Chains A and B, each alone.
Chain A
């Protein structure tokens, strides 16, 4: 069986340590130069403006899983907010001052004792960027995209997450217009936690759905 045209095990590691990325000596590489050239031509033609690019870089820098964590912690502590979040993810996030800089809608799916949810984008790399920032490389690489939809329990096990047989696993495949966010289960023993303390338990991977939120994992610095 040959799937050579589908790629091979190389496509996961090409976003880092790429042999073509000429980062040595500060000399820009071919694709770096291409990006600059395309951008400058579009600016010269007045189709885009330089300040729009600068502004969007600031927007990208302002997004991280810390935003999603505040949404989750609020949902854990405020049942009315949780209901609004599950009814319309985007509107509820906007309530908390999180702007959506694109046209995407957001569906928040809740993990329960009966259901564990996982998000993926099989076709490419769609991801709830306004609330989580940019996706990790493994999310964009073939192994996760290919396997999450057929053997989610095996994929989860590779993240150290074992889902009991009596819990359904549901996989949500993102599109250009519809993005998903997992609302993880609130860990037991956190009844006395403040909203801020709760938010510190919510990592990016808990909101992708590959790991549960736990009390002994503090969120790494963004």
Chain B
């Protein structure tokens, strides 16, 4: 396979069978926001707003660089935002304004 064929045949999530490093048995307790993010994912699934497959594809659509550099729940929340934009449920402007509001609220506190 040529290098570009390889890219087509393997999207970033499709790592099964590739060579990789030794397993490092890392684990961590979820940060509060990570747990909220997980709960948000489940609730979005219950309401059929974003299902598990859409979430996985949404993460993949972030592209290889973000898939590697963002942490697990960072990938999720960015994927959710993108999917919600695509579905016309949120707009980027709305989210940007809301994030500004949340940030100013938390810096006051």
State whether A143 and B23 are in contact (beta carbons under 8 Å apart), knowing that A35-B33, A57-B39, A149-B16 are contacts in the complex: yes
Give A38 to B80 CA distance when docked, in angstroms.
8
Interface contact A48-B43, CB-CB below 8 Å: yes
What's the least CB distance linking B16 to chain A, in Å?
3
Counting CB contacts under 8 A, is A136 at the interface?
yes
| Choice from B12, B40, B72 contacting A140 with Cβ under 8 Å | B72
Given contact pairs A124-B13, A146-B16, A176-B56, A38 touches B77 in the complex (Cβ within 8 A): yes
**What 1/0 flags go to B13-38 for Cβ under 8 Å of A?**
11111111111111110110101111
- A197, CB-defined interface residue at 8 Å: no
Instruction: Please give, as numbers and ranges, the residues of chain A lying within 8 Å of B98 by CB-CB distance.
Output: 37-38, 40-41
Check A6–B74 contact: CB distance below 8 A.
no
Q: B44: which A residues are within 8 A, CB to CB? A: 42, 48
Q: A10-B68, A52-B43 are in contact. Are A34 and B78 (CB under 8 A)?
A: yes
Assess whether B17 is in contact with A149, with CB atoms less than 8 Å apart. yes
Contact between chains at A176 and B53 (CB < 8 Å): yes
**What is the distance, in angstroms, from A136's C-beta to the closest C-beta of chain B?**
4
Check A38 against B81 for contact (C-beta < 8 Å).
Answer: yes
List the B side residues contacting A216 at CB < 8 Å.
Answer: none
Take A23-B31, A137-B26, A158-B23 as given contacts and tell me if A145 and B36 are in contact as well, using a CB distance cutoff of 8 Å. no
CB atoms of A8 and B33 under 8 A apart = no
Give the interface SS of chain B, mostly helix, strand, loop or mixed.
helix
Contact A52 B81 (CB under 8 A): no
- Cβ-defined contact, B27 with A53, below 8 A: no
**Does A203 reach chain B (CB closer than 8 Å)?**
no
Nearest Cβ on chain B to A27's Cβ, whole angstroms: 7
Q: Does B67 contact A (CB under 8 A)?
A: yes
B12 CB, min distance to chain A CBs, angstroms: 7
Cα A124 to Cα B60 in complex, Å, equals: 10
Question: Least Cβ distance of A47 to chain B in Å?
Answer: 6
Q: Which of B12, B30, B33, B67 contacts A31 (CB 8 A)?
A: B33
B79 to chain A, nearest CB (A): 11
Q: A11-B68, A34-B77, A57-B35 are in contact. Are A136 and B15 (CB under 8 A)?
A: no
Chain A residues with Cβ below 8 Å from B5 are: none
Residues of B within 8 A of A150 (CB): 16-17
Query: In the docked arrangement, what's the CA distance between A82 and B60, Å?
Result: 38
- The answer to whether the Cβ of A114 comes within 8 Å of any Cβ in the partner chain is no
- Give Cα distance in the complex from A176 to B59, angstroms: 14
Complex CA distance for A71 and B37, rounded to whole angstroms: 28
Pick out which of these stretches binds chain B: A12-20, A87-95, A105-113, A188-196: A12-20
The interface of chain B, by Cβ under 8 A from chain A, is 7, 10, 12-28, 30-31, 33, 35-40, 42-47, 49, 51-53, 56, 59, 64, 67-74, 77-78, 80-81, 84, 89-90, 94-95, 98-99, 101-103, 106-107
